[in-house]
């Protein structure tokens, strides 16, 4: 069985998050609008600011089979 890790948002994840969340099945299931990589980067920056202010604690879920490096 694999494992997952919850990590803070980081711009290093934005390209892959954008790629995966742009897949029609994912985008439609989450009700996401059509967007751009820049939109994903702005969202990541926004949630990090919200975390600093104490209004949100967002995390990215990384699977063990994914080669992530931030």
**Which residue is associated with the tokens 């934005």?**
14
Q: Which domain holds residue 16?
A: 4-63
Residue 68 lies in a domain: no
pTM (2 decimals)?
0.78
Tell whether the model's pLDDT for residue 11 goes beyond 90.
yes
Question: How many angstroms separate the Cα of 42 from the Cα of each of 4, 5, 11?
Answer: 25, 23, 9
For the chain, the average pLDDT equals 88
- pLDDT at position 35, please? 93
Q: Are 37 and 12 in contact (CB under 8 A)?
A: no
Strands (E), the chain: 4-7, 60-63
The mean per-residue pLDDT over the stretch 8-17 comes to: 93
Q: What is the pLDDT of residues 26-41, one digit of tens each?
A: 999 999 899 999 999 9
Tally of structural domains, the chain = 1
Residue 70 lies in a domain: no
């Amino acid at each position: 069985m694999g494992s997952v890790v919850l990590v803070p948002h980081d711009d290093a994840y934005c390209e892959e998050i954008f790629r995966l969340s742009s897949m029609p099945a994912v985008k439609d299931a989450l009700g996401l609008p059509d967007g751009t990589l820049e939109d994903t980067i702005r969202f990541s920056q926004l949630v990090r600011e919200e975390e600093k202010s104490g209004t949100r604690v967002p995390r990215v879920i990384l699977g063990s089979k994914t080669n992530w490096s931030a």
